[in-house]
Structure 1
Amino acid sequence: MLELLKNIDLVNGRLIRLLKNDTAVEDDSFTEQIEQFLDLREQLFAAVKKAETAEEKQLGERIIQDNELINKLLNEQTQQLKKEINQFNQKKKHNQHYDNPYQNTYVDGTFIDKKK
């Protein structure tokens, strides 16, 4: 059980380092690496049983703290990706409007003179 918790702690440490590394975000394998670490953690968590010794409890508490940090970092990455997607969509919309400025013309509020 202690060895299993140490493995989880090791995986958590690697995942935290990966998420904190800003230069890795530009890498194509970044998402794949995160998925691999999360899958491995999930498999290890499935085998965890109740802690029996004080060392196991202490390691378990550290794993819980690391898990909270990992969730926070993943949320930050998600927000960053959403922001980048929104910026990309705004640029795309702006470029389309620049290419064809009369594409979205509206006729609301136009005055039509009925007199001859």
Structure 2
Amino acid sequence: MSVVTALFHVTKELRDLVCASVPAERREETIETIERLLAQRDELLRELRPPYSEEEQRLGRQIVAWNQEIDAKLRELKRQIQRDLAMVREKRRANAHYTNPYEQSLAMDGMFYDKKR
């Protein structure tokens, strides 16, 4: 199997993985698989050497098209993770405020600052 064909199959597997909906409970497993596939692709990209046959050029054009799609889906996955992290931080802050509502507020009740002198 040529390097271009192997790269095509790995890219197709990666595209299929990122295009499928990822439930939150399986996200960690999916991210590990994505990282493994990206590492495989990186190794294959280092092995690419011209000249390419007509079939390999056709596969290369398909790989480039899929790369754009994969990039968009990975950015969307990153945004989902960032939103989830922000929600967790907000829940943690709300829970801490609920358990001890007076800890963070520095009430200055009864204080008077005289500017005359």
TM-score, normalization: structure 1? 0.84
| 1:92/1:49 CA distance change after superposition, 3 Å | same
The C-alpha deviation readout for 1:51-104, integer Å capped at 9, x for no partner, is 432222211111111111111111111111001000100010011101111111
In structure 2, what residue type is equivalent to 1:36? R
Partner residue in 1 for 2:25: 26
The alignment yields a C-alpha RMSD, in angstroms, of 2.2
Once the two structures are superposed, the pairs formed by residues 1-116 of structure 1 within 5 Å of their partners are: 3-23=2-22, 25-27=24-26, 28-107=28-107, 111-112=111-112
In structure 1, what residue type is equivalent to 2:17? L
CA distance in 2, matches of 1:86, 1:111: 36
Instruction: Tell which deviates more after alignment, 14-23 or 4-13.
Output: 14-23
Instruction: Tell which deviates more after alignment, 34-43 or 5-14.
Output: 5-14
CA distance in 1, matches of 2:49, 2:14: 22
Shift of 1:106: 2.4
| 1:110/1:62 CA distance change after superposition, 3 Å | farther
Q: Is the 8 A contact 2:10 2:41 kept in 1?
A: yes
Shift of 1:48: 0.7
CA distance in 1, matches of 2:24, 2:18: 8
Instruction: Tell which deviates more after alignment, 24-33 or 89-98.
Output: 24-33
CA distance in 2, matches of 1:87, 1:5: 42
CA distance in 1, matches of 2:69, 2:53: 25
TM-score, normalization: structure 2? 0.83
Instruction: Tell which deviates more after alignment, 56-65 or 99-108.
Output: 99-108
Q: Is the 8 A contact 2:3 2:48 kept in 1?
A: yes
